Each structure stands twice: as C-alpha cells, then as structure tokens.
Amino acid sequence: MHKNTLSRGLKKRHIQLITLGGIIGSCYFLGSGYVLELTGPAAVISYFIGGLIVVSVMFSLGEMAVANKDASFINYQAKYLSHTWATGVGWSYWMTWVSYVPSEMIAAGIIMNTFIPQVSPVIWAISFGAVITAMNLINVSLFGELEYWLAYIKIAALVGFSAIAFLIVIGLIGHTPSHESHFIGWSVIRESGGFFPKGFLAILLTMVIVLVNFQGSEIVGLAAAESEDPEHTIPSAIRNVTIRIVALYVIPMLLLVMILPWNKAGLAHSVFADALSTYGFTRLGGLFSFIILTAAISTSNSGLYAAARSIYSLSMGRMAPAYFMKLNKNKIPHRATIFSILVTWMFVIFYTFDQSEYVYKYLLALSGFSGAMCWLSIGWTQYRFRKLSEAKGKELKFKAPFFPYMTLGAVWLQIICLGSMIFIPELRASLYIGLPIFFMPMLLYKYKEYRKTKIKEERSASFYH
C-alpha cells in the first residue's frame, strides 16, 4: 500500500452514522430556536427545502465518489472545475469546521459546568478537545465505531421526542398548568399567529441558518476514500442517510411547532427541552441537556474529521503544504488533525472572551455561508462531471436522479439563500467575513502559480543565454 493511502477501515454503518453525526449537532437542538424565532411554524418548510437540497448534494457526491474511489469532493472540484476554485472551497470548508467545532466544545463545557460548577466551562471545553483529538488520531475503524454510537444516541433522542410529541398532540399524555391533556392538533399554531406569522419571505431569509443545521452531510464525500467498498457502500449509505435526514429534521420540527408556540423559542434554551417541560415532562427536558452534550461531542468529532481530511485532500492536490500529506502508522493524517485541533483551541480561547448570542449567530451564519458555497460547488462539479462523462460515452455505475433538474435546482436555491443574507444585518456581517475567507486562498494559489511560472521562464531564459 502506498504510504500516502488512507486506511479503508470504515464500514457502511460507520459512513451512515458519521454523516448523521456531523449533521445532528447541538446547533440543531439549540439553533432551531433561532430559526423558529425568525420564521415561526413555517420553519418546517425551511427544513423541508433544506432537506431537498441535501438530497441533491448527497446524490451528486455519490455519483462522483463511486466513479472516483480514492478522492474527495475537493479533489473532484480540482479535476472537473479548477485547482484555483478547489483551493478556495477547500480552505473555506476547513475554516467552517475549525471555527464551528469550538462552539460545540464550548456548548459541551457550559452543559458540564451546570452539573459540576466547580470546573469552568473552558476547562471542560479543552478537555473535550483533547478527547476528540485522541479519537481522530486512533485507528479509523475505532473512530467510526465511537461516532456510530454517539450518533445513535442523538437519533434515539429525536425518535423519542417525536413519539412523545405525537402523543401530546393527540391528547393522550401531557398537561400544562392551565389544563389537563386534550387534543391539540393545530390549535397552538392558530393561537400563535398562524403558519406564516412573519410572512413567506421569512423562509428564505433564514435558509442559511437552516443549511448550517444540515451541514455535515458532505462528509460522506471525504469518508469515501476510507470506506471498505465505496462502490457499494456509498450509494447505500446515501440512500439511507437522505431518508433519515428528512425523518429526523422535518417530522420532529413539525411536531415541535404543534406543541410549542413559536414566540417562546430562542437561543437561550433547547426548544425541544422547553416543549417537553411545558407539558410536565421536566425530567425528560433535563435529559435533553445530556443529549445536547453528546451531540456537541459527536459533531465536534465529525467536524474535526472533516477539517483534517480537507487539508489532507488539499495537500494531495498541491493546494496546501505537502507537510500535511504525512500519515501516521494507523494511516491517519495526524499532522492535518493536530494542526486543525490547535486552531480550534485558539477559537475556544477567543470565545471565552465573548459568549454572547451575537457571536453564536455570526458563527452560524459564517458556517452557513461556507457550507452553502461548498454544496453549491459540489452541484456545479457534478454537473460538469456528468456532461464530460456523457461526452466520452462513459457508463456510470451510480447516477444522481433527475439530472440536470435536481442538480441545477439545488444550485440556484443556494445562490438565492446566500443572496438573502444581505437583508439580515446580523447575517450580513458574516457575508463580509465569509467572502474574503473564500477568495483569499484562491488569490494566494494564483500568486504561487504565477511565481512558479516566472521562475521557470527565468531559468529557461538563463539556460539559452
């Protein structure tokens, strides 16, 4: 085996749960309150649209992953678009995770501080960072197994919430201080201003935050190079994950808005915990604090995995220093992993100085911008890949359905979502930050290529003279 070949230790169930682990983070349990606050019950539609975009992205990735078994989506973009564009996407994607993972670590630290107040949240956050670092440096199959069970806890929590919320809606269980159990149906939605209390356009204005909640599904495009049998593993994992994404986002969100008035939602607490506590399930509401803890650890784990693999892919494509190509004895890109975790720890220290909601909102918006640019690029890449394959008469073993309509539809939806950021002041600032982060690596790469060309020309000229 080539010294720079990653270990193929991830099984199909690992791929499925690593992807879900990256998606279902504390952002979903906490950040959904912000979406409800701005959108109202229509947030369900926002999540449904987000789900459609995810389905398109996942199938696009699957098509390219099966045809390019040893590469990541960053390498696909270098091959089918340009190295310059892939450099911007890769580094922006890396920045998304190294700036987002610390917020998950801080969230975990705050939760642990409520249980053991003698230890500060920062100490807990750094401790979790050390654990996550170790998890990412061990054998990849063991990493997959740990993430598998962490993700299952979150899935079980959402399934359990959906079951309890459904029983509350039909009036079999649950009571409030004012009345006993009764059939709720759509009454909570009607009494809080209807389904569109903020208007239809509010759906578009919050789509970037919704896309943050779905971010992580593209990890399957990085994990393909470490799966045992990508030709069969990836298509199966994608089909299963897309179904579960809709089931674990749209259904719980619909039931949530049916039992909790949207104007009681926010970032201060988990809306899921608040909803359960409202109907007398205080202990179950408290249990969600533990669920958020596991969600934070799991998402940090998957996020660091994605950050390290993105730098590794960039270095393999000569879009990052060759230093990050080095693998340890377990075939793990340990230098890329250690570098990524060091940067996340820098952000942890930064967050300790300002843990206000505004910082959290800026972070979500920045992650949403970078994630949407990544997904948009995946769709564009798959479009080019399919056209080139058809021109060459190449038969693909796995194809994204409804091409090109699904692909182009998802691309344009994300362009609209990104454009909507300019209309929300607290999201607009993240747009101003996100654009330089995206384009700066591209300019540096072009400058490096220009310098290399000039040096070759000078050497050639000196040789002939």
227-257 tens-digit pLDDT: 556 667 667 767 766 677 767 788 888 999 9
Ordered structural domains, the chain, with CATH = 12-452 (1.20.1740.10)
Q: By three-state DSSP, how is residue 227 classified? A: strand
pLDDT tens digits, 384-440? 999 999 999 888 888 888 999 999 999 998 888 888 778 777 677 777 778 888 899
Which pair of tokens denotes residue 62?
């699957």
Q: How far apart are CA 348 and CA 19, in angstroms?
A: 24
What letters, b where the CB count within 10 A reaches 16 and e where it falls short, cover 70-109? ebbbbbbbbbbbebbbbbbbbbbbbbbbbbbbbbbbbbbb
| Predicted local confidence at residue 85, as pLDDT | 93
Q: Are 85 and 377 in contact (CB under 8 A)?
A: yes
Kindly state the helix (H) or strand (E) to which residue 297 belongs, with its residue range: helix 282-316
Q: Are 351 and 106 in contact (CB under 8 A)?
A: yes
Q: Which stretches of the chain score pLDDT less than 50?
A: 1-2, 9
Say which DSSP state 30 is in.
I
| Predicted local confidence at residue 88, as pLDDT | 92
What are the distances in angstroms from CA 155 to CA 148, 292, 431? 11, 12, 32
| Predicted local confidence at residue 1, as pLDDT | 40
Number of Cβ within 10 Å of residue 265's Cβ equals: 25
